[in-house]
Structure 1
Amino acid sequence: MTSGKKILGEERRKLILEWLQTSKEPLTGSELANRSNVSRQVIVNDITLLKARNEPIIATSQGYCYFAPAVPEQWFERSIACNHEPEDAKAELNLLVDLGVLVKDVKIEHPVYGDLTASIMVANRKEVAQFIQRVNETNAAYLSQLTEGVHLHTIAAREERTLDEAEAALRQAGFLLVE
């Protein structure tokens, strides 16, 4: 927090929306906190309130994004089942993004909580590296560690053929869960 004037309540939430809508990169909670001279926890609360108003804000490993498509494009999506060790997460994600695939999320089926989904939103090696770095810096566990490596990803691409190629590459690498 800087020593500037604290931006209050609704004015701050309006600015957060504007910043997110105009940013080409995700904005971290710390960055939003510095811009508005409040704590990061205040920003987390603001984001929660904005999401409750159905604002399409997603939290990714790189920060917050406003997720409203600017230009309607046809994207193809597919859910794929994978299974690998935690140390293979980087290789799996790089394999996918190298083929031009957006990895939207990771999902597991938890025995107590049911389906758990976490946004990933990586589309290139730089974003994969940032994601892996955040996991390592925070000593966070991958969701798949709760299910002995089994997890789902929602992947997206502009062509269905790209998704077919991604599945084939995952199968060849031994990352695809096979029956």
Structure 2
Amino acid sequence: MTEGIKLTGAKRREMLLHWLKEAGSPLTGGELAKKANVSRQVIVQDISLLKAKNEPIIATSQGYLYISRTAGGEKGAERIIACIHGPERTEEELELIVDEGVTIKDVIIEHPVYGDLTASIRVSTRKEIKQFMNKINSTNAAYLSQLTGGVHLHTLSARTEDRIDQACQALDDAGILIKD
């Protein structure tokens, strides 16, 4: 869109917001950099500035995502659950959840020094899980849960509580869910 044209910082950030709002799905820093004719590092800085102005942008494993603040439509259900498993069962865990029509918003661990550490995941389909797993594997990144012996939390969201209940039952049947 702006190929060959250098935008001022303010105009570029305005365009970033526009592109993120219009996309409806994550856009990578590389994609945004190409659109804005700047480096990926400039995009990272711009996103940080937008977040500092309370723009609801999150970084997911698939890219940046604008979270709409509009209150219309279905409210849905949300729940934080506790799980435990080794890295080799991560894909299985995620699939058990999304197969019930549930979105995994994040992973949370309790670090002994930093307290709660939260990382956005935002996966709702097996395709998104494959992309997430490919990114983990291609970067040799460690799972946060490896810092806590496999214990971690997920924030789940779905249209109904029943869907989350079904996902929790599937996790329990697999020996992954930690019950209180």
Once residues 165 and 25 of structure 1 are traced to their aligned partners in structure 2, the CA distance between those partners, rounded to angstroms, is: 26
Tell me what 1:172 maps to: 173
Once residues 96 and 110 of structure 1 are traced to their aligned partners in structure 2, the CA distance between those partners, rounded to angstroms, is: 25
Tell me what 1:65 maps to: 65
Q: For the Cα contact (< 8 Å) 2:24–2:66, is it kept in 1?
A: no
Pairing of 1:97-176 with structure 2 (within 5 A): 97-176=98-177
Tell me what 1:81 maps to: 82
Unaligned runs of 5+ in 2: none
Secondary structure of the 2:68 match is: coil
Once residues 152 and 168 of structure 1 are traced to their aligned partners in structure 2, the CA distance between those partners, rounded to angstroms, is: 16
Cα root mean square deviation, aligned: 1.4
Unaligned runs of 5+ in 1: none
Number of paired residues? 178
Q: Return closer, same or farther for 1:138/1:50 CA change in 2, 3 Å cut-off.
A: same
Scaled by the length of structure 2, what TM-score is found?
Answer: 0.95
Secondary structure of the 1:82 match is: strand
Secondary structure of the 1:154 match is: strand
Structure 1 residue 25: Cα displacement? 2.0
Scaled by the length of structure 1, what TM-score is found?
Answer: 0.95
Residue by residue over 1:101-120, the C-alpha shift from the partner in whole angstroms, topping out at 9 and shown as x without a partner, is 01000000000100000000
Residue type of the alignment partner of 2:151:
V
Structure 1 residue 7: Cα displacement? 2.1
Structure 1 residue 165: Cα displacement? 0.9
Once residues 97 and 118 of structure 2 are traced to their aligned partners in structure 1, the CA distance between those partners, rounded to angstroms, is: 19
Residue type of the alignment partner of 1:123:
S
Residue type of the alignment partner of 2:173:
Q
Residue type of the alignment partner of 2:118:
T
Structure 1 residue 137: Cα displacement? 1.0
Residue by residue over 1:143-171, the C-alpha shift from the partner in whole angstroms, topping out at 9 and shown as x without a partner, is 10100100000001111111111111101
Residue type of the alignment partner of 2:138:
E
Structure 1 residue 3: Cα displacement? 7.4
Identity of aligned residues (%): 60
